[in-house]
Amino acid sequence: MEADPVHVLDARAALVREIGASGAWQEAPAWRAAFEAVPRHLFVPYYYVGASGGYERLWGEDPDERRRARWLRGCYTDTPLATRVRDGELVSSSSQPSLMAKMLAELAVPDGESCDVLEIGAGTGYNAALLAHRLGDDHVTTVDLDPEITESARQHLAAAGYRPAVVTGDGAAGCPERAPYDRIIATCTLTSVPRAWLGQCRPGARILAPLATGLIALTVADAEHAEGRFLHTPAYFVPLRGGDARAPYEQHIGGLPRGALQNELFRFLLELTAGSLDPHEALALWQREGLPVRERFGITVRGPYEWAWLDDPEGPYVWPL
């Protein structure tokens, strides 16, 4: 049972307009053509929405016409979609399209030049399709730890007419057999920068990854050195599986003022310094430094060492990751 082509085109055009209105590709309009061309509904044949006591499954083959229409509207709404739920826990999703567009724009892919991209976290395959549309199948590699996820992503991509390399493996280890890369983009949250990625990058490569509710943009100097700042954009993704886990900061925030905890930027600082800085010290620092925004923070990787910093990588405020 196929979705009505007219409804699909109308819904996709509306989504493209909504993403454009957000300013997502203001600096990189070439990505607009990818969102216009790639049919998101082929990558989310079903998804889950919150319901009383759990999740409700919507799918494109539902015999109920109204539920099918509801599924299609959701596919082309600018929201993330839960695509895999295991034991009540979200393990995979299709990210919010406008955030995807912002991240793709921040990759700073050069026009008219060859660019090899490694994506960490295949998800539904939608992001890999957008990359492949712009760069070509041969220049895109996407990796995921879960063979069920990579197999479904491969099927979705083929249905949409794209065939980038889809690899099952630990994203923290990268994909050395397809290296070197000019860009690495992660669609899962990190607690530190996997050192293997640097060794698989060409000098001058850019790494864009969610970390501590933000997006870090690193420039790679060589296999031992990378540095960069956080972008303004907040980002919430499922954690990278296969890497080291870190206890959430919620375990250590007793006694902190409610107003501070409700501040999104302070929560970013708590995540960034979790395990390195006492939350009450983090609050004092945040207030003393004038409630610093994300762009004042950065990360440096130097040999075996990796640290976050405020304002200056060699300054007084640094924290090991």
Same domain? 300 vs 222: no
Same domain? 20 vs 140: yes
Contact 123, 93 (CB under 8 A): yes
CB atoms within 10 A of CB 227: 15
Same domain? 225 vs 264: no
Same domain? 56 vs 164: yes
Same domain? 272 vs 138: no
Which CATH number covers residue 118? 3.40.50.150
* pLDDT value, residue 254: 64
Does some domain include residue 133? yes
Does some domain include residue 242? no
Q: What is the dihedral of CA 60, 131, 102, 5, to 10 degrees?
A: -30
Same domain? 217 vs 258: no
Cβ-based neighbours of 164, under 8 Å, separated by 6 or more: 128, 129, 131, 132, 137, 138, 139, 140, 141, 142, 157
* pLDDT value, residue 69: 92
pLDDT digits (tens, 9 = 90+) for 30-50: 999 999 999 999 999 999 987
Instruction: Tell me whether residue 78 is exposed, middle or buried, using C-beta atoms within 10 angstroms of its C-beta: 0 to 12, 13 to 18, 19 or more.
Output: middle
pLDDT digits (tens, 9 = 90+) for 241-264: 655 445 455 545 667 888 888 899
- Domain span holding position 154: 5-230
Same domain? 205 vs 307: no
Does some domain include residue 235? no
Does some domain include residue 241? no
Percent of the chain residues past pLDDT 70, beyond the cut? 92
Same domain? 160 vs 296: no
pLDDT digits (tens, 9 = 90+) for 269-297: 999 998 899 999 999 999 999 999 999 99
Residue 57, amino acid: R
Contact 305, 320 (CB under 8 A): yes
pLDDT average, residue stretch 299-310? 97
Tokens representing residue 36 in the block = 């216009």
* pLDDT value, residue 1: 47
Of 203, 230, 257, the position where a domain reaches its end is 230
Does some domain include residue 238? no
pLDDT average, residue stretch 180-192? 95
pLDDT digits (tens, 9 = 90+) for 55-67: 788 999 999 999 9
Q: At residue 52, does pLDDT exceed 70?
A: no
Same domain? 19 vs 159: yes
Contact 268, 214 (CB under 8 A): yes
Please identify every residue annotated as catalytic: 92
Does some domain include residue 239? no
Domain count, the chain: 2
Same domain? 28 vs 172: yes
Q: At residue 162, does pLDDT exceed 60?
A: yes
Which range has the worst mean pLDDT, 85-94, 170-179, 310-319?
Answer: 85-94
| pTM of the shown model | 0.91
* pLDDT value, residue 130: 98
Q: Distance between CA 238 and CA 166 in Å, rounded?
A: 19
Which range has the worst mean pLDDT, 84-88, 271-275, 314-318?
Answer: 84-88
Cβ-based neighbours of 23, under 8 Å, separated by 6 or more: none
Q: Distance between CA 147 and CA 84 in Å, rounded?
A: 13
Does some domain include residue 243? no
Which range has the worst mean pLDDT, 22-26, 95-99, 317-321?
Answer: 22-26
Q: DSSP readout, 90-143?
A: EEEEEPPHHHHHHHHHHT-PPTTS---EEEE--TTSHHHHHHHHHH-GGGEEEE
pLDDT average, residue stretch 208-236? 96
pLDDT average, residue stretch 177-201? 96
Would you place residue 237 in the very low, low, confident or very high pLDDT band (cuts 50, 70, 90)? Answer: confident
Tokens representing residue 14 in the block = 């509306």
* pLDDT value, residue 275: 86
pLDDT digits (tens, 9 = 90+) for 110-121: 988 899 999 999
CB atoms within 10 A of CB 318: 15
* pLDDT value, residue 245: 47
Contact 119, 143 (CB under 8 A): yes
Q: At residue 230, does pLDDT exceed 50?
A: yes
Q: Which of 114, 161, 170, 168 is nearest to 138 (CA)?
A: 114
* DSSP-derived pairing of the beta strands 305-310 and 318-320: antiparallel
What is the number of residues in the chain? 321
Does some domain include residue 303? yes
Tokens representing residue 47 in the block = 């998804």
Same domain? 198 vs 255: no
Q: Mean pLDDT over all residues of the chain?
A: 91
Strands of the sheet with 89-94, listed across from one edge = 54-59, 46-51, 81-86, 89-94
Of 197, 230, 263, the position where a domain reaches its end is 230
Q: At residue 210, does pLDDT exceed 80?
A: yes
Would you place residue 140 in the very low, low, confident or very high pLDDT band (cuts 50, 70, 90)? Answer: very high
Of 200, 230, 260, the position where a domain reaches its end is 230
Q: At residue 2, does pLDDT exceed 60?
A: no
Q: Fill in the DSSP letter of residue 120.
A: E
Same domain? 211 vs 260: no
* pLDDT value, residue 105: 95
